[in-house]
């Protein structure tokens, strides 16, 4: 197996996930379940015998807290960590803070579905998934991928849509395919990369 290790982990359940609200760049904390999900992620990685050389996370506390809790379980609480806004969740603009059912009542089921599940149509004042890819992917290529290709073990704690941008490239998914790719809260995905940055193998640690 290659030593070019990249682990992606979506944050544990947040308070706004629980309340079915569009979260985006707002900064709610983890629920009790989210805390347990983050700890469980760390235990799963520890059980695989994995340790890390560097971590990356977003500017939002739910991703940072997930990372902290996971690293505590692994036994690496002081791991070098880089925070960057380009790993933030997709900005939902005018939808931010709204209950998803209330948004459907205001704009209609079909329109909200288009905003949530199309690749390149953004909600008012917000980002499409394509926009999120446009800021997240260059950061991955410039800052994260070089660390992996040097043989360092890299852990990334971020968000459903910013991680989708990376998964899209790693798993060679089409814009349609990435929309169907669900990332569960608090579940690590372990990738081993080839020297040319393609994926040698990957494992979703759900369950």
Active site residues: 11, 89
Q: Is 36 annotated as a binding residue?
A: no
* Beta strand extents in 11-161 (DSSP E only): 54-57, 81-83, 154-158
Q: Is 117 annotated as a binding residue?
A: yes
Q: Is 17 annotated as a binding residue?
A: yes
Specify whether the CB–CB gap between 84 and 143 falls below 8 A.
yes
Q: Is 39 annotated as a binding residue?
A: no
d(CA 164, CA 144): 15
Q: Is 161 annotated as a binding residue?
A: yes
d(CA 192, CA 197): 9
Q: Is 13 annotated as a binding residue?
A: yes
Q: Is 139 annotated as a binding residue?
A: no
Q: Is 160 annotated as a binding residue?
A: yes
Q: Is 53 annotated as a binding residue?
A: no
Q: Is 177 annotated as a binding residue?
A: no
CA–chain centroid gap for 55, Å, is 13
149: left (phi over 0), alpha (psi -120 to 50) or beta: alpha
**Strand-strand pairing, 5-10 and 188-193:** antiparallel
6 membership: H or E segment, kind and range? strand 5-10
Structure tokens at 144: 């994260």
d(CA 114, CA 22): 14
- Which residues are annotated binding-site positions? 10-17, 23-24, 62, 89-92, 100, 116-117, 160-161
- Which residues are annotated binding-site positions for substrate? 10-17, 23-24, 62, 89-92, 100, 116-117, 160-161
């Amino acid at each position: 197996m290659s030593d070019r290790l990249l682990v992606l982990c979506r944050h544990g359940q947040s308070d706004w996930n629980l309340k079915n609200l569009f979260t985006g760049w707002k900064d709610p904390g983890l629920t009790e379940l989210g805390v347990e999900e983050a700890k469980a992620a760390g235990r799963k990685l520890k059980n695989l015998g994995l340790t890390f050389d560097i971590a990356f996370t977003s500017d939002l506390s739910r991703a940072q807290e997930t990372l902290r809790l996971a690293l505590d379980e692994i036994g690496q609480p002081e791991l070098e960590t880089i925070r960057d806004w380009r790993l933030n969740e997709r900005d939902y603009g005018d939808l931010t803070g709204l209950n998803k059912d209330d948004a459907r009542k205001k704009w209609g089921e079909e329109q909200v579905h288009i905003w949530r599940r199309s690749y390149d149509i953004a909600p008012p004042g917000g980002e499409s998934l394509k926009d999120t890819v446009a800021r997240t992917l260059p950061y991955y290529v410039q800052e994260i991928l070089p660390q992996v290709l040097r043989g360092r073990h890299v852990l990334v704690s971020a968000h459903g849509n910013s991680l989708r941008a990376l998964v899209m490239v790693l798993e060679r998914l089409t814009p349609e395919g990435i929309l169907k790719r669900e990332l569960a809260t608090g579940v690590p995905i372990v990738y081993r990369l080839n020297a040319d940055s393609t994926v040698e193998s990957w494992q979703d640690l759900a369950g």
